[in-house]
Amino acid sequence: PYGRVLAALGLAAAERAQARRRLMSEPIGLAGVAPALGLELEPHVLAEAEQDLYRELASVRLFPEVADVLRRLRAEGFRIALASNLALPYAVPVRLLLPFELDAQAWSFELGAIKPDAAFYAQLCRRLGCAPADVLMVGDTFANDVEGARAAGLQALHLDRSGVAGSGAIHSLADLSARIAAVARPGGAAQKATLPASE
């Protein structure tokens, strides 16, 4: 829906890329896109995009194993954070679907930074109250979640649900418990992990 609005505004490719980045790093709802960019949008285009957005938000689901994995990690003493590049409206269904309140949530539109920016990861660590080296980032976008996290000093593990990535990746969060001892550094005062929770 956001892409549909940006296309209707007639932005050039570079302008669209810049606008997308802004829309993920500021709390801008769909109706606020055109005004934020100093442009006008035909009302029927906005109405159609909002209908698309409502349908998309209603379709958000947790992957089947996520709630059980989160509960298991919590029971094992891990602190858990959600770290996501999202536009404002998408946070609502994710928050409602989580099985309990996480220790921290890092949404790009709240932080004013997006993964893989080092500033995003610095604020995530601050919200968790952890040193970067004590945080394991588990994410499904290699450049943002793995390379970006490692560049910011975090540990990182690639979640590749397609099964295509090499042996360094996990293919489901259900695989995380078996891998965490091999990836997480032992001896910390507390255990921490960040998890991508939704499709």
pLDDT digits (tens, 9 = 90+) for 154-166: 999 999 998 886 7
Print the SS3 string covering 135-183.
CEEEECCHHHHHHHHHHCCCEEEEECCCCCCCCCCECCHHHHHHHHHHH
**What pairs with residue 137 in β-bridges?**
156, 194
Query: How far lies 100's CA from each of 52, 67, 104, 156, 170, in Å?
Result: 28, 9, 11, 24, 24
The predicted structure's pLDDT at residue 177? 78
**What pairs with residue 104 in β-bridges?**
81
Pairwise CA distance, residues 174 & 69, whole Å = 6
Tell me if 180 sits within 8 A of 193, measured CB to CB: yes
The predicted structure's pLDDT at residue 189? 39
pTM: 0.86
| Residue-averaged pLDDT of the chain | 90
CA angle 136, 82, 107 (to 5 degrees): 125
Reported as a single tens digit per residue, the pLDDT across 106-150 is: 999 999 999 999 999 999 999 999 999 999 999 999 999 999 999
Q: Per-residue DSSP letters for 19-55? A: HHHHHHHS---GGGHHHHTT----HHHHHHHHHHHHH
Reported as a single tens digit per residue, the pLDDT across 2-23 is: 999 999 999 999 999 999 999 9
116 is written with which tokens?
A: 């893989």
